[in-house]
Chain A
């Protein structure tokens, strides 16, 4: 039994490596903060594109639905590997964009931002869609009968009501996203999982990994409190 505690709860190791793991965890949080904003916007754009009415917009609708389906089907890990493995070698893209070292964050950070935004935008688009479809058709009909265009009816009548219906499922997506920031470890971003794995390799002890897990637990529990009241 004490073997178990030594392997997973060695407080000395946790203490020694605390600031390292925390620094890595901050990278998870930063990645989360950037992606959540971008994905919320991108998801809304996708959801609205999907709603465009009429035969004229059918190609755009189909493309959007296709995008959403494909990006929810392919594992995020594969998408991240494709991005980080391929983009650096696409010579036709200027080097500054291909290998971004923007705002003090290295290219793995930005590859992760791209990959996670593309995928989570798709998931969030479906949450928005559920919200929009939950609004009775009569609302849009009344708005259109008053002479509002599709765009105005969405903007003033449908979407304001739809966003009040989505906090709970959206929060679920955000919790998922926070955890999925750990996938950035496979593209060599120095976030908490990468760091704690290195410590595991050095010390043959998993306490640092537990520590990383506890940091996630600390943040997420608080999120749940806010939503259920």
Chain B
């Protein structure tokens, strides 16, 4: 049986006194799209941020392509190559607030990391960047600065930027929550396409339609634990747990 792309075992994380993640186990197969739902404060974003070690967990193990990434070099596991920055090259992240670099053009935003981290030449990284920007439908914008773009366009640039590092896993942290409703679709369409091309994705979202249509697995979190998980149709249409029902009732009734 093939090793899962991503495996989380017994993840615990606290911020001071507050325990935000109370034992999370999750497995994500290659090419799988996992949608994480839940009320605010449930720990969904924190969980995502653990995967690329923006928030290192206090307890638990994370296996990326079979390699334990919680133990860096010098830990005795022999995994010299899987140190922090290397992990982050394999795992791309897109943020709710886009976080584009305002002092750089769209093209520079996308080509910066391949140039400075992977050491690619300017020509090579810019060619690649142009191709990615075309792919997300922004081929005509590459000389603009981010402030001139709409939210949906900025978010698509952010996706292209993350893809430029050729990650094996993409993390999406409520990427449409800060967008005006009419701009949400273009971003979701981009994500849908990415999924159909076989990208392994972890998506924290409130977009139930997306979860239902694109998700392979839906996970409901509340209070730092996974309350329920399963196929989208099962969790969204016929949830077993009371907490899930309550949450979905609130969200779907809008």
Nearest CB in chain B to that of A146: its residue: B113
Q: Is the CB of B54 within 8 A of A145?
A: yes
Residue B122 lies at the interface, judged by CB distance under 8 Å to chain A? no
Within 8 A of A (CB), among B50-108: 52, 54, 85-86, 88-89, 91-93, 95, 97, 99-103
Chain B residues with CB below 8 A from A148, complex form: 85, 113, 116-117
Main secondary structure of the interface of A (DSSP, over half): helix
Contact size class for B?
Answer: 20 to 34
* Number of A-B contacts defined by CB within 8 Å: 60
Chain A residues with CB below 8 A from B85, complex form: 144, 147-149
Residue A133 lies at the interface, judged by CB distance under 8 Å to chain B? no
A148 vs B109: C-alpha distance when bound (angstroms): 13
Residue A160 lies at the interface, judged by CB distance under 8 Å to chain B? yes
Q: Is the CB of A147 within 8 A of B99?
A: no
Q: Is the CB of A147 within 8 A of B101?
A: no
Nearest CB in chain A to that of B90: its residue: A147
Given contacts A141-B54, A160-B103, A161-B103, contact A147 B97 (CB under 8 A): no
Nearest CB in chain B to that of A142: its residue: B99
Chain A residues with CB below 8 A from B86, complex form: 147
Residue A223 lies at the interface, judged by CB distance under 8 Å to chain B? no
Least Cβ–Cβ distance between B153 and chain A, in angstroms: 17
Max chain A C-beta neighbours (<10 A), residue from B85, B92, B118, B162: B85
Nearest CB in chain B to that of A137: its residue: B99
Nearest CB in chain A to that of B161: its residue: A146
Cβ contact of B99, chosen from A139, A152, A161, cutoff 8 A: A139
Nearest CB in chain B to that of A141: its residue: B54
A-binding residues in B (CB < 8 A): 52, 54, 85-86, 88-89, 91-93, 95, 97, 99-103, 112-113, 116-118, 158, 161-162, 165
What would 9 more interface pairs be, CB under 8 Å, given A157-B101, A161-B103, A164-B103?
A: A136-B99, A138-B99, A144-B88, A145-B93, A147-B117, A148-B113, A148-B116, A152-B117, A156-B112
